[in-house]
Amino acid sequence: MVRAKLDKIDRKILKSLQSDGRITNVDLAKGAGISAPPCLRRVRTLEEQGYIHSYHAKIDHAAMGYPVTVFALVKLTSQAKEDLGEFESYINALPMVRECHLLAGEVDYVLKIVSKDWDSYQTFHAEKLTNAPHVISVKSSLSIRTGKDEPGVPINDD
């Protein structure tokens, strides 16, 4: 997909949408310094070009009954394309796994997992995680608190 170079207005639009995905097109346009119709066209172009993937609400996981966050470092038997694909397919079917990142280095993946409590995570670990395709080891780290949780990427709008 060919992406056009972002201008100052595009960056302002992206920055506003990243911090508030529910902003009205009128307010978005006002913040970008343009009128509403061209603003909407720009947003659609940014979506078509792949700069904007989705819009979603950020749900408080503790309020929903998942106060425990665990980061699991997973090592596989190999990084063969088929093995990675099987592992990722398996992981994608597990709702408690919220993020899955392939890494370079000593471990193959880091997973962000939410759980109702530590005992539930231990059951998940024993029954699901260690039984995932090609897994040879899992090291778990319990998150004590979140010091920063910013969505997206830094956007310079000037």
Structural domain spans, the chain? 8-48, 68-142
Q: Provide the pLDDT for residue 1.
A: 63
Assign residue 152 a region (left: φ > 0; alpha: ψ between -120 and 50; beta: otherwise): left
- Pairing assessment for the beta strands 109-115 and 135-142 based on DSSP bridges: unpaired
Question: C-alpha dihedral over 47, 48, 51, 56, to 10 degrees?
Answer: 30
- Backbone phi, then psi, for 97, in 5-degree steps? -85, 115
CATH topology of domain 68-142: Alpha-Beta Plaits (3.30.70)
Work out whether strand 97-102 and strand 135-142 pair parallel, antiparallel, or are unpaired.
Answer: unpaired
Please answer whether residues 149 and 99 qualify as being in contact, where contact means their C-beta atoms are separated by less than 8 angstroms: no
Give, for all 158 residues of the chain, the pLDDT tens digit: 667 789 999 999 999 999 999 999 999 999 999 999 999 999 999 999 999 999 999 999 999 999 999 999 999 999 999 999 999 999 999 999 999 999 999 999 999 999 999 999 999 999 999 999 999 999 999 999 999 999 899 998 76
How do 97-102 and 68-76 pair as beta strands? unpaired
Structure confidence at residue 12 (pLDDT)? 96
Report the C-alpha gap between 100 and 120 in whole angstroms: 19
- What are the Cα distances from residue 117, in Å, to 11, 96, 121? 40, 12, 6
- CATH class, domain 8-48, is mainly alpha
In this predicted structure, what is the pLDDT of residue 75? 98
Whole-model pTM?
0.88
